[in-house]
Amino acid sequence: MKQDMIVILDLGSTENTVLAREIRGLGVYSEIYPHDITAQELKNIPNAKGVILYGGPNRVVDGVEIDVRPELYETGLPFMAIDHAPAKCQASYKSWEEAAPQLKSFVFDTCQAEANWNMENFIADQIELVRRQVGDRKVLLALSGGVDSSVVATLLIRAIGKQLTCVHVNHGLMRKGESESVIEVFKNQLDANLVYVDASERFLTKLENVADPEDKRKIIGGEFIRVFEEEARKLEGIEFLGQGTIYPDIVESGTKTAKAVKSHHNVGGLPEDLKFELVEPLKQLFKDEVRACGLALGLPAEMVYRQPFPGPGLGVRCLGAITRERLEAVRESDAILREEFKKAGLDKKVWQYFTIVPDFKSVGVRDNARCFEYPVIIRAVNTVDAMTATIEQVEWPVLLKITDRIMKEVKNVNRVCYDLSPKPNATIEWE
């Protein structure tokens, strides 16, 4: 079942995604396109029922105020304008505040769109599209255990089953139990073709004595590509690469008055001789829609609501040169924090929370004797766009319980600190 669509043309607004979300919230699919789309390109958009022109602060490009091509009005589609003054629109409003109350009427009464945008229809459509694209050929997917890759993997398993091979690389910097969870869900429950690569020693050896955060990131990213490439070469007949590209990736590629909407490639740096065609079934979804898709596909909530996690994993939370001793302290303290936040109901409330272990020690007392051990720093922040962040004011009893457990259960730790620094001036991660 093909969903009806309302097309948003970007004429300089910074709120295009807000509008798209509002329309999807009405049960009608919506996508953002560049302002200079041709009439033929607009006609070729499947099930387009209406167009909204959204002006804004970026409407002047190279000294010229941009507008749509006049021939677009001859396509027969209804047009609405927000913060833009074209000639031939069924409705025109000076601002979003003025337009918002009329949006529902425009979508359903003027455009005659049907509210058929939901996860069940989306999943059914994507399964059909993937089967049509892939046929009887094979797909390779790097499965990190993150939300996007996990949902892509589950959808592809439903679409093409054993034609998909997932490669999960454990770089030794995963959180406690994450690789085991990936194996349990995908290999044991979903019966996926899963190649598990334990490259922990390989990564940790490469990272020995490397203290600079950027150097650590480059080593981890580069080594991951090499491991993935080695595994890809062992497999025969792979023609497609599955990716967890999502709609914000595409929007960030430059729909704001850009020439075209370009796919954002999440897995960069693969060798040129590994020529894969991309399979990106989530590229129409916003992040919360990806989570809704995962739940609809039957993934466990812990996987769907997984904490945002940097690509280098715990490597950038074990500050300075990584040692196995401090890496273990980060992993164990992080597990305790997640466990206690879940018990306190904070796991759904707080956007991101984790622990950090710096590369210095402080004096303390253990078993009535002086000890020289590491501190654990707790970070818990809330944000909408990750550009700014506020601190979660965790109740004292919860913090005291976490502190008590970390001090008793985590080796080589004699202090627990709570980071109260918002962004800015601090960043969310420490490295």
Amino acid identity, position 232 = A
Interatomic CA distance for residues 267 and 66, integer angstroms: 34
149 is in an annotated binding site: yes
200 marked ligand binding residue:
no
Nearest CA among 206, 216, 424 for reference residue 317? 216
Q: Please tell me the chain's helix, strand, coil percentages from 3-state DSSP, rounded to the nearest 5.
A: 40, 20, 40
The Cα–Cα gap between 275 and 38 comes to 31
Q: Is 253 annotated as a binding residue?
A: no
Residue 146 assigned ligand-binding role: yes
263 is in an annotated binding site: no
144 is in an annotated binding site: yes
What residues does 326 pair with on adjacent strands? none
CB of 174 closer than 8 Å to CB of 145: yes
DSSP 286-313: -HHHHHHHHHHTT--HHHHTPPP--TTG
Q: Pairing state of beta strands 29-34 and 238-242?
A: unpaired
CA distances from 419 to 48, 338, 347, 416 (A): 49, 16, 18, 10
Output the CA–CA distances (angstroms, integers) from residue 256 to 15, 103, 138, in the order listed: 10, 22, 35
The annotated binding site for ATP is made up of 144-150
The annotated binding site is made up of 144-150
